[in-house]
Amino acid sequence: MDRKYHEAAGVEGVLAWANQLQDRVEYVIVENATSALADFTYWRSTKQADQFRQAFAPAILQIEFRLAELENPLRQHGIQVGQVADRKTMVDELKRASLVMRAQSYRRRLFSEFDRAREAFLP
């Protein structure tokens, strides 16, 4: 599926839900980079998305793209990033120091995003 279409469909879905839910909920938007060149232009520049952000002030989490050399074995073996970061995996390829350090970095930045948006989760 075309990335631009996928992003537009995701934004349209959020806006459709917001139209129904209005201010009865707190919104958390996750900018989940699914490629190295993730582009959130539709979310960041359309008038409707801008109106949504102004009206509901959602918490926005930015989740970076994870390299395939880490992400693929995680999915293949059903392992979490934290298990690699804590060196608690039996999968040899995920024991490499470079992947352990990368997993630690991903986890640190992810936790930082959650801390930044803590109010949305723990009002």
Whether the predicted pLDDT of 122 surpasses 70: yes
Predicted pLDDT at 7: 64
**What are the C-alpha distances in Å from 22 to residues 13, 14, 54, 59, 119?**
14, 11, 13, 15, 19
pLDDT band at 123 (very low <50, low <70, confident <90, very high): low
Alpha carbon distance 105, 30 (integer Å): 19
- pLDDT surpassing 90 at residue 41: no
Report the amino acid identity of residue 85.
Answer: A
The domain spans of the chain are 1-65, 67-123
What's residue 76's pLDDT? 95
Residue 111 pLDDT: 93
In this predicted structure, the answer to whether residue 103 has a pLDDT above a threshold of 50 is: yes
Q: What angle do CA 48, 41, 45 make, to 5 degrees?
A: 35
Task: Name the residue with tokens 């992947």.
Answer: 99
